[in-house]
Amino acid sequence: MGGSGERFGGGRPKQFHLLAGKKIYLHTLERFEKSGLFKEILLVVPTQWRKEVEEDCPNARVIEGGATRQESSYRGIMACQEDTEIVVIHDAVRPFVTDRILKENIDKARELGAADTCIPSADTLVYAPKGDLIEAIPIRSHYLRGQTPQSFRLGIIKKAHHHALEKKLDGVSDDCRLVKELDLPVAIVFGDERNMKITTPLDLLLAEQFLRQGLVEEPSNEKRSLANCTFAITGGTGDIGKEIARILKNEGAKAILLSPSSKENPLDFRNPKTIKHCFETIGLLDGLINCAGFLDRAPLHELSEESIDAQIDVNFRGVVYACKHAELKNGGHIINIASSSYYRGREEISVYAAAKAAIVNFSQGLAQERPDLIVNVAAPCRTDTQMRKEHFPEEDPSSLLSATEVAEAIVDLLRQNRSFASVMEIRKSQ
């Protein structure tokens, strides 16, 4: 992660930009940490960013990088402990590397001394050394696209770099090329299209979509027991809230249902004073799940001021106050439920969709403000609830998510000790 990220723009190296509310390199680091495959992780960073990285990553060793990729790689290799067997070198801006790719890299490096992660090219390749005319069109199947990680026995990669220094071979952006300069074999590990390198803002947008739609393998993560935990559920008497409470009860947890119709814990999400009083009464919680929702389907010019205010208050303003006033244990959860309508305004539900989009941005900001908590936002697609039936009676129920499917996904988030810090879209199984 020693690069300057000039192609990305924005004043910060690309590895420090946020993906789903968390720095890109921290997503990558999490996959290495949770794989359980490594004795030590070294982060090779630009000098001016060393302090920030050391604060972010107390369990990793931070090494200052060089002026080029080759120099940064060399510094990291030379910093490895003498008893190191295998060195795995990976781009900090490839956050979706999988356990399978890491394991196969290590196995191949043990077997042959060096390994490179590669994928086939879907595009025709052309050879144009001068950049203006094509000199050849090679057979596509004979060429692969290189990714990372690249993995080596420590002795081999040290020898390759020392040879490059002796031959004054510099500016090389690929460690495997240095090994090939020694005429040594390099094994191939087949990578994955989703093991993408985030180089441009467009790449970052695509990576967000991968996370949002659950298209990437999650890093290994132990799931915790919810037994004896206490969770507050706003909108708890609605279809989704009741299902969450039922599942939590089966897990041995306590669910406190908060809603205007609750006899034990009445909560008016439109009144900040009652929200504050309610959470002061409840006391310390393991988690808060904001399920409250209100929809009035009509074009804006037909909505009353009361309806507009109610949709903003219930779908957004009340969530903000609940997150502000809820007293949560260290490591406690906040899950704010948005809607699949958040990413595009839609006719007749423009206020509702805008409020749900606000929930997403609010949750991502809150995740950064509260590193002591696990903050997530979930966006169910069209769900078979009473509210949905009232406003979209023409829909086929078989095409909708069930409240149980949504609730199960929410409770599964509670079992995980990680902040998704993005939108977890909940979709109907095919």
Residues of the chain with CATH 3.90.550.10: 14-212
Residues of the chain with CATH 3.40.50.720: 230-426
pLDDT digits (tens, 9 = 90+) for 46-62: 999 999 999 999 989 99
Structure tokens at 244: 């969450």
The rounded distance, in Å, linking the Cα atoms of 5 and 16 is 9
Q: What is the pLDDT along the chain (430 residues), one digit of tens a residue?
A: 987 766 666 678 999 998 877 899 999 999 999 999 999 999 999 999 999 999 999 989 999 999 999 999 999 999 999 999 999 999 999 999 999 999 999 999 999 999 999 999 989 999 999 999 999 999 998 999 999 999 999 999 999 999 999 999 998 989 999 999 999 999 999 999 999 999 999 999 899 888 877 778 777 666 789 999 999 999 988 999 999 999 999 999 999 999 988 888 889 999 999 999 999 999 999 999 999 999 999 999 999 999 999 999 999 999 999 999 999 999 999 999 999 888 788 899 999 999 999 999 999 889 888 889 999 999 888 898 999 999 999 999 888 999 999 999 999 989 987 665 556 777 765 4
8 A C-beta contact, residue 337 and residue 356: no
Question: Scanning the structure block, which residue is given the tokens 């956050």?
Answer: 95
Q: Who's near 356: CB < 8 A, 6+ residues apart?
A: 315, 316, 338, 339, 341, 342, 379
The rounded distance, in Å, linking the Cα atoms of 252 and 250 is 5
> What is the distance in angstroms between the CA of the first residue and the CA of the last residue of the chain?
39
The rounded distance, in Å, linking the Cα atoms of 44 and 229 is 40
Contacts 24+ apart (CB under 8 A), 73-79: 73/44, 73/161, 73/175, 74/161, 74/165, 75/44, 76/42, 76/44, 77/154, 77/157, 77/158, 77/161, 78/158, 79/42
CATH code, residues 14-212 = 3.90.550.10
CATH for 230-426, among 3.40.50.720, 1.20.120.1770, 1.25.40.10, 3.90.79.10? 3.40.50.720
pLDDT digits (tens, 9 = 90+) for 291-350: 999 999 999 999 999 999 999 999 999 999 999 999 999 999 999 999 988 878 889 999
Q: How many residues does the chain have?
A: 430
**Any idea what the Cα angle at residue 399 is, between residues 393 and 404, rounded to 5°?**
95
